């Protein structure tokens, strides 16, 4: 009986260790400092160490109902936290028609830069993003500190970004 309990305990500890290691792997993923061309003809550096402690990256599509529903919330978040050095970029998925993306940018008056990921390379850089919305929060060194596929809990995201911007992380 004691051997069986010891075996179960060891198995449980191994499982916990695996979960911890997977979590560490996810939390230590780093995005390289790529320069991204934006739809307005400008460029956006994904990682700029001296520019901001927090960069929000949103993969979206104009055909994604959740993405469209979240745009006003993202605008509110961006407008509130941009003065505190929050950076943000929207990345339109490779399957999204560029004319539809541009129409959505104009319709919602999206204030942050938007890039078209026409060849899927940006999605690959972030770990083969295929579903929208998928949102990433990067620290000043490009480490992924938060990631969400699906609808965003804006209250939680605001707290996390606020901590990063004030240095309370």
SS3 112: coil
C-alpha dihedral sign at 118, 124, 128, 131:
negative
DSSP element (H, E) containing 142 = none
The confidence score (pLDDT) of residue 18 equals 38
Flag whether pLDDT at 5 surpasses 70.
no
Radius of gyration of the chain (CA): 19
Q: Tell me the whole-structure pTM to 2 decimals.
A: 0.82
Angle at the Cα of 111 (from 156 to 133), degrees rounded to 5? 50
Partnered with residue 112 across adjacent β-strands are none
pLDDT tens-digit profile of 63-111?
999 999 999 999 999 999 999 999 999 999 999 999 999 999 999 999 9
Alpha-carbon distance of 52 to 141, in angstroms, equals: 10
CA atoms within 13 A on the CB side of 164: 26
Mean pLDDT for the stretch of residues 14-41: 67
Q: What is the mean pLDDT of the chain?
A: 88
Q: Which pLDDT score is estimated for 103?
A: 98
Mean pLDDT of 116-127: 97
Give yes or no for residue 26 having a pLDDT over 80: no
Cα dihedral sign for 107, 101, 161, 37? negative
Residue 7 — very low, low, confident or very high, per pLDDT cuts 50/70/90?
low
Whether the predicted pLDDT of 25 surpasses 60: no
């Amino acid at each position: 009986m004691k051997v069986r309990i010891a075996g179960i305990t060891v198995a449980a500890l191994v499982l916990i260790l695996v979960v911890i290691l997977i979590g560490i792997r996810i939390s230590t993923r780093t995005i390289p400092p790529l320069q991204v061309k934006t739809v307005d003809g400008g460029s956006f550096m994904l990682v700029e160490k001296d520019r901001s402690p927090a960069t929000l990256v949103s993969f979206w599509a104009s055909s994604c109902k959740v993405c469209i529903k979240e745009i006003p919330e993202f605008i509110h978040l961006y407008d509130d936290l941009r003065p505190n050095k929050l950076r943000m970029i929207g990345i339109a998925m490779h399957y999204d028609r560029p004319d539809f993306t541009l129409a959505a940018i104009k319709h919602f008056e999206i204030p942050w830069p938007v890039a078209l990921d026409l060849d899927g390379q940006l999605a690959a850089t972030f770990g083969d993003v295929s579903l929208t919305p998928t949102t990433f929060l990067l620290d000043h060194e490009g480490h992924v500190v938060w990631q969400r596929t699906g609808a965003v809990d804006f209250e939680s995201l605001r707290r996390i970004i606020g901590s990063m911007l004030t240095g309370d992380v």
